[in-house]
Amino acid sequence: MNNTFKIIVLAGAFVSFILGGGTATGQEILQFFVSFGYLGIGAIIIAAVLHMWFGAYAMDVGLKLKAEDSKDVFIYFCGKYLGLFFYWFAQLFILIVFVVMISGAGATVSEHFGLGIVAGRAIMAIAVLITALFRLETIIKILGIAGPIIVLFAVIVGIGNFESAGFSQAGDIVKELNLSKATSDWWQAGFIYSSFVLLVALPFLANLGKGEVKRSNVIIGGSLGGLIMLIGVFAIYIGILSNIENLHTKAIPTLVLADQISPALATIYSIILLIAIYTTAVGMLWTVAKQFSKDNLSKYRILVVTLTILGFFGGLFPFAKIIDLVYPIVGYIGLILMVGMLYRQFINKGKLESATSTTVNIDKNLSE
């Protein structure tokens, strides 16, 4: 692969991993950004800057550290004891997000196709299981291709529902609706949104970086992925805000937006939603299974099957309620990890070494 294609694949994989059911359905965007009215734009800008930064930096550290276990990445950023806490906490939260994705698939299939929530969860669980058994190389290719497609349709659905009249009145309407907010202040929402995404994405991003050899690829790919993702978020934000009076009670606001444009587009977008959920769920499942299998293929397969079964039954919990309850709490905890990363990059870089390998001597060519 040439460098341009590698960068696109890295950026696309990053986008696909984090632009899952919560974001593409509009639930995260509703609670983190739309609930603050026009000030949500400021929160999105904060989140965009942070996504671009940690996307590039996490991949860069993964490239240099070459750790076999993401535990070493957390320890590098936060020290031995706090790093170990974040390592185990991240694995737990990744499993929770995996369950959210399966639950979101059930809600999407039920709401648009009328097949029932159980059928939706079963279809998604089987698709994720089959894909995860192919392991990383195939997964990255799938994620890299799906990411730009998901964002494209998010932009179409969001921009296609922008109405100047509805948008101009949205500020007053939002105040009257008293929407559930992820946090008390708009600027906090940008930080909290990015920090909970970071906690989930760090092991995946470090593994993406580890597989690269050229530093410029991971820096550009990580930055580009963060930017593309937030473009999709902004498009959905303005679409929901323009129609907030009709959407604030909907489990999947973006699906309603797609239907307002065209029933045919709603069908296509429901498939795109399932792809978004699928790509995130695959990445989550692969990340946890890889951590605990230690490259043992038999153990990896057992873990993938076991976790998929747990995800299927865990998907019984209501989709929107999980996002409302869990994500903000995790976001506040993730802020500590973000501070650790900022400390390592700008104050004390320390030694890039892992518990599973000797100290890494960073070749001068990496900076070229």
Instruction: Indicate the length of the chain as a whole number.
Output: 368
Q: Is residue 128 part of a domain?
A: yes
DSSP 156-203: HHHHHT--HHHHHHHHHHHHHHT---SSSSHHHHHHHHHHHHHHHHHH
Q: Is residue 291 part of a domain?
A: yes
Structure tokens at 103: 């639950």
| Below-70 pLDDT ranges, the chain | 1, 20-22, 111, 135-144, 315, 317-323, 352-368
Q: Is residue 357 part of a domain?
A: no
pLDDT at 163 (0 to 100): 87
Q: Is residue 212 part of a domain?
A: yes
pLDDT at 136 (0 to 100): 54
User: CA-to-CA distance for 170 and 239, rounded, in angstroms?
Assistant: 11
Whole-model pTM: value is 0.82
Contact 251, 320 (CB under 8 A): yes
User: CA-to-CA distance for 253 and 147, rounded, in angstroms?
Assistant: 20
Q: Is residue 348 part of a domain?
A: no
Residue 133 belongs to domain spanning: 3-342
User: CA-to-CA distance for 234 and 45, rounded, in angstroms?
Assistant: 9
Domain count, the chain: 1
Q: Tokens 């341009």 label which residue?
A: 4
**Cβ atoms within 10 Å, residue 195:** 22
pLDDT at 173 (0 to 100): 92
pLDDT at 53 (0 to 100): 95
Q: What tens digit of pLDDT does each residue of 234-244 get?
A: 999 999 999 99
The SS3 of residue 323 is helix
pLDDT at 339 (0 to 100): 94
Q: Is residue 334 part of a domain?
A: yes
Q: Is residue 366 part of a domain?
A: no
User: CA-to-CA distance for 209 and 343, rounded, in angstroms?
Assistant: 20
CATH number at residue 220: 1.10.4160.10
Dmax of the chain from CA atoms? Answer: 61
Q: Tokens 């669980």 label which residue?
A: 125
